[in-house]
Every structure is written in structure tokens, then in C-alpha cells.
Amino acid sequence: MEKNPVDSEENNDSSEDGRESMKVWLQENLRMIVSIAIVVVIAGGIYSYSKRTQAPAVQEETAVTEEGAEGKISVIGGETQQNQEEAAGETAKPETTQPATPQEAQSAPAAQQSKETDSAFQETAARGDSTTKLARRALANYLEKSPDATLTAEHKIYIEDFLRRQVKDGRLKVGESREFTKDIIANAIQKSKGLNEKQLKNLEKYSQKVPGLK
């Protein structure tokens, strides 16, 4: 059966009209299409960037949380829960001893005198002294009278921190005194010997700052 030439021409005209209409539509809407494509690309870039930055932030927050948890290890053994929480927030932080200048050395002997009684050691503050340093001096005086070779530097850090909690704390004035009874010192020594290996290990970071305790 032969095709009708008229029908073929009409079909060709329709196809050409369709292509021409599409071409005209693209030309008229090209700017809008390009704008939409740009918006999609920018949105995709922003989303991808936010994903990359979110992961490190979560990792950093997790690390800080873990570090905070590790810092709340109590080294005070055998005490009430309230004292354990207080010790966790105020773990012993020993103060390093600074060498005295010649001028301070001349005025120090009168201020640094230690007075021993039958039941206590009375320690007098010199310039720059704190309650912790007075407790350290009282312990040294006690051990001079009653040596104990089993005590390590970590034990002594615990003991001096225990002692400073038993007397009035705060900033000391030159010439101000604190009294540490021998019974309290003996009790602190006994408590220090009850520390486990983990607690002693936690105190190493403080004992290393005070070489004189070795």
C-alpha cells in the first residue's frame, strides 16, 4: 500500500513545528534553568560541607567528656561519699618550692621556724608559703622523729593534702601559724597506706612536680 504524500508532508511539518517550539521554549527559559541548576549545586555543596564539619565536632565533644570523667578520680579512700566528691574536685595539687632569693633567705629563719610540742608541730609561714607547704614541713618534721621507709612520694602527696584539710585553709600572712597534731599526722600516714595502685598512679603527676619528696 503506497503512503499518501500529503500525509507525509503533514507529519514532517508537525515534527519540525514541535522541534521549533521546543527550541523556542528552551531559549525563553534558559536563564531560569541555569539559575535552578546553580541553586542545586550550591545547596549540595553546603550540605556536603556541613556533614564534613559535623563529624570532627562530635569527636571533639566526646574527647572532652571522656577527659572530664577521667579527671574525677578520687584518691581519698575509706571516707564518706561527701568527702570523696570533695576530693574528686580538689585532688591534691602540690606546690613546687621556689628557691629563695638572698634577701628572702636572710629574713626566712625567723619566719620558717617549726615549733614542736608534746602533741603537735606548729609551723609558721614565710613569704610565699601556703597551707600545703606548712603541712609538708610538718610531715617532714614528724618523719625525722619517726622515720617510715615505706612511704613513697605519692604517699606523702596524699598525706600533706589530708593534713591541709584538717586546719584552716586560705591565704597565709607572713608569721601566721598552723598546728598539725601528731595524731592527725599518724592517721594520715595510715590512710595513705590504704591507697591502691590506681590511686597511687594518679598521684604520680603531682609528686613529679615536687622532687624534694623523693
pLDDT in tens, 34-46: 888 888 888 888 8
CA separation, residue 209 to residues 147, 148, 157, 213 (Å): 23, 22, 10, 9
The answer to whether 151 touches 192, Cβ cutoff 8 Å, is yes
Range 183-193 average pLDDT: 96
170's enclosing H/E stretch is none
Most confident of 77-86, 89-98, 129-138, 163-172: 129-138
Q: Among 56-60, 117-121, 185-189, which stretch is predicted with the lowest mean pLDDT?
A: 56-60
Range 107-135 average pLDDT: 82
- pLDDT at residue 93, as a whole number: 54
Residues 6+ positions from 45 with CB-CB distance below 8 Å: none
Q: Is the pLDDT of residue 164 over 90?
A: yes
pTM above 0.75, yes or no: no
Q: Among 66-70, 110-114, 146-150, which stretch is predicted with the lowest mean pLDDT?
A: 66-70
- pLDDT at residue 25, as a whole number: 74
Q: Is the pLDDT of residue 122 over 80?
A: yes
**Number of Cβ atoms within 10 Å of the Cβ of 155:** 22
Q: Among 9-13, 64-68, 73-77, 198-202, which stretch is predicted with the lowest mean pLDDT?
A: 64-68
Q: Band the pLDDT of 24: cuts 50, 70, 90.
A: confident
